[in-house]
């Protein structure tokens, strides 16, 4: 490589703050390649930084005080954040285990319900239940009829005793020479007492 073709490379190295006076052509090429690699990595890092800043801006858009959140990110303790992330990860694992257990319990319960619904005993038990309900309704009807009949008989007997028995007893008492007072005391026929 001629001195003229090294000139742009030496200028690029000088712009990057690298000393290149007195370097051989091979050293200049190595320095230029290293500079290109450094510039490429820098460009990639800047692209990644820009993408991360975009993610942070989107994440902090809903924050009440995004400037304070940015300051916290800039000056915060990464160890504390990692501990919080670990704690949240453990809590999330526990919640997932609880969710899985609840899903398993619900699946088991659903299977048991399906098994019960398919069981041959259900129709038989339903028929037996309906039969018992009908029998109970018949017994309740019989009870009501018997209770009503008892009440009618009791009312009729009370009415009969109140209205008919005194006349019958009075008639029989005169015929037998004995009269009874309202309290049931026997009086001879010639002597009346209305006590």
Per-residue pLDDT reduced to its tens digit, 16-75: 555 655 566 666 667 667 777 877 888 898 998 888 888 877 777 776 776 777 777 777
Kindly tell me if the per-residue pLDDT of 169 is higher than 90.
no
**Domain span holding position 1:** 1-62
Average pLDDT for the chain: 77
pLDDT category of residue 151 using cuts at 50, 70 and 90: very high
Would residue 100 count as lying in a domain?
Answer: no
Would residue 102 count as lying in a domain?
Answer: no
Task: At 189, give phi and psi (nearest 5°).
Answer: -60, -35
Would residue 128 count as lying in a domain?
Answer: yes
The pLDDT of residue 1? 45
Beta bridge partners of 46: none
Kindly tell me if the per-residue pLDDT of 94 is higher than 90.
yes
Would residue 11 count as lying in a domain?
Answer: yes
Q: Which of 62, 78, 105 is the last residue of a domain?
A: 62
Q: Which of 12, 35, 62 is the last residue of a domain?
A: 62
Rama region for 17: left / alpha / beta (φ>0; ψ in -120 to 50; rest): left
Q: Which of 47-51, 129-133, 153-157, 159-163 has the lowest mean pLDDT?
A: 159-163
Would residue 84 count as lying in a domain?
Answer: no
Kindly tell me if the per-residue pLDDT of 138 is higher than 80.
yes
Q: Which of 55-64, 104-113, 137-146 has the lowest mean pLDDT?
A: 55-64
The pLDDT of residue 152? 94
Would residue 25 count as lying in a domain?
Answer: yes
Would residue 118 count as lying in a domain?
Answer: no
Domain count, the chain: 2
Higher pLDDT, 105 or 195: 105
Higher pLDDT, 89 or 175: 89
Residue whose pair of structure tokens reads 């129709």 in the numeric block: 123
pLDDT category of residue 140 using cuts at 50, 70 and 90: very high
The pLDDT of residue 135? 96
The pLDDT of residue 25? 64
Higher pLDDT, 2 or 177: 177
Kindly tell me if the per-residue pLDDT of 109 is higher than 60.
yes
Kindly tell me if the per-residue pLDDT of 191 is higher than 50.
no
Kindly tell me if the per-residue pLDDT of 137 is higher than 90.
yes
Higher pLDDT, 129 or 27: 129
Q: Which of 62, 85, 115 is the last residue of a domain?
A: 62
């Amino acid at each position: 490589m001629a001195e003229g073709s090294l000139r742009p490379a030496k200028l690029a190295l000088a712009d990057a703050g690298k000393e290149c006076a007195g370097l051989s052509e091979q050293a200049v090429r190595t320095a230029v390649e290293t500079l290109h690699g450094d510039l490429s990595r820098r460009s990639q890092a800047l692209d990644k930084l820009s993408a991360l800043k975009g993610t942070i801006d989107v994440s902090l858009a809903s924050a009440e005080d995004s400037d304070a959140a940015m300051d916290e990110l800039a000056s915060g303790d990464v160890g504390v954040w990692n501990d919080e992330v670990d704690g949240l990860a453990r809590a999330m694992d526990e919640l997932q285990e609880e969710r899985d257990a609840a899903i398993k319990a619900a699946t088991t319960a659903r299977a048991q319900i399906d098994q019960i619904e398919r069981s041959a005993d259900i129709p038989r038990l339903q028929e037996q239940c309906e039969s018992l309900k009908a029998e109970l309704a018949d017994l309740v009807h019989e009870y009501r009829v018997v209770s009503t009949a008892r009440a009618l008989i009791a009312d009729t007997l009370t009415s009969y005793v109140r209205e008919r028995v005194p006349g019958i007893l009075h008639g029989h008492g005169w015929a037998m020479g004995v009269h009874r007072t309202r309290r049931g005391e026997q009086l001879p026929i010639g002597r009346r007492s209305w006590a």
